[in-house]
């Protein structure tokens, strides 16, 4: 396979995998998808740990590079392809600021969903602990979108893809986008973009070659 081909390793249940996957789908870029079965613990096997020392997905391989952490991958994709990169330097930094905030705050949405959906074996007190932080993160994003279409500048950027990508499973944790009008309108704008799909429709359950458009 050519070194120039983007290869994304991920899982269909993973919001972190959805983020770069959505970027590639919206950009219409061709790439190869390699599925990592989280349920079977493939992410902790030696072959995967050699790619991602944290034993997680996603991983992006490109031109001899191996990149991990979904927001680092979004940063790389924006820099190397030019898609979803804001126009001015100030905006480009601001987009990275949103990604850093996302990793601090919207991660709580992913935690609520993770423990509510995948860990019925542990006390659900943990969900009660993270829920207020998840609600606060969604409220902050909702307020930030008041009177504007996108988080940064006048067009969709990696800030929007990163923040939306990690809140996409909010409903699986009993959290509501619908109850937040600015977030709901922003989600509708994202959903109207060519190539948009929700994770279970977008991320293959098997290895796949994606043609792009």
Measured from the CB atom, the residue of 16 and 35 that comes closer to ligand GSH is: 16
Measured from the CB atom, the residue of 111 and 187 that comes closer to ligand GSH is: 111
The pair phi, psi for residue 31, each rounded to 5°, is -165, 170
Contacts 24+ apart (CB under 8 A), 87-94: 87/153, 87/154, 87/155, 88/153, 91/152, 91/153, 91/157, 94/152, 94/159
**Which residue has the closest beta carbon to ligand GSH?**
56
- Minimum CB–partner distance for residue 69 and ligand GSH (Å): 5
- Minimum CB–partner distance for residue 106 and ligand GSH (Å): 10
- Minimum CB–partner distance for residue 213 and ligand GSH (Å): 26
Contact 3, 188 (CB under 8 A): no
**The two three-digit tokens of residue 10, written as one number:** 């991920």
Please report which helix (H) or strand (E) contains residue 34, including its range: strand 31-35
Binding site for ligand GSH (CB under 6 A): 14-16, 38, 43, 55-58, 69-71
Q: Strand, helix or coil at 35?
A: strand
- Minimum CB–partner distance for residue 18 and ligand GSH (Å): 8
Measured from the CB atom, the residue of 5 and 119 that comes closer to ligand GSH is: 119
Measured from the CB atom, the residue of 12 and 153 that comes closer to ligand GSH is: 12
């Amino acid at each position: 396979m050519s070194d120039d081909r983007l290869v994304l390793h991920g899982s269909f249940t993973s919001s972190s995998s959805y983020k770069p996957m959505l970027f590639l789908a919206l950009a219409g870029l061709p790439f190869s998808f390699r599925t990592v079965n989280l349920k079977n613990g493939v992410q902790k096997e030696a072959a995967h740990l050699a790619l991602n020392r944290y034993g997680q997905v996603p991983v992006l391989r490109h031109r001899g590079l191996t990149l991990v952490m979904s927001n680092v991958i979004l940063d790389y994709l924006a820099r190397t392809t030019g898609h979803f990169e804001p126009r001015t330097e100030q905006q480009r930094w601001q987009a990275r600021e949103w990604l850093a905030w996302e990793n601090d705050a919207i991660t709580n949405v992913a935690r609520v969903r993770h423990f509510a959906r995948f860990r019925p074996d542990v006390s659900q007190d943990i969900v009660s602990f993270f829920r207020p932080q998840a609600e606060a993160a969604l409220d902050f994003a909702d307020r930030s979108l008041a009177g504007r279409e996108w988080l940064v500048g006048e067009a969709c950027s990696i800030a929007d893809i990163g923040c939306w990508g990690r809140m996409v499973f909010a409903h699986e944790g009993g959290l509501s986008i619908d109850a937040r009008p600015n977030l709901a309108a922003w989600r509708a704008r994202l959903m109207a973009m060519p190539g948009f799909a929700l994770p279970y429709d977008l991320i293959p359950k098997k290895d796949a070659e994606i043609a792009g458009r």
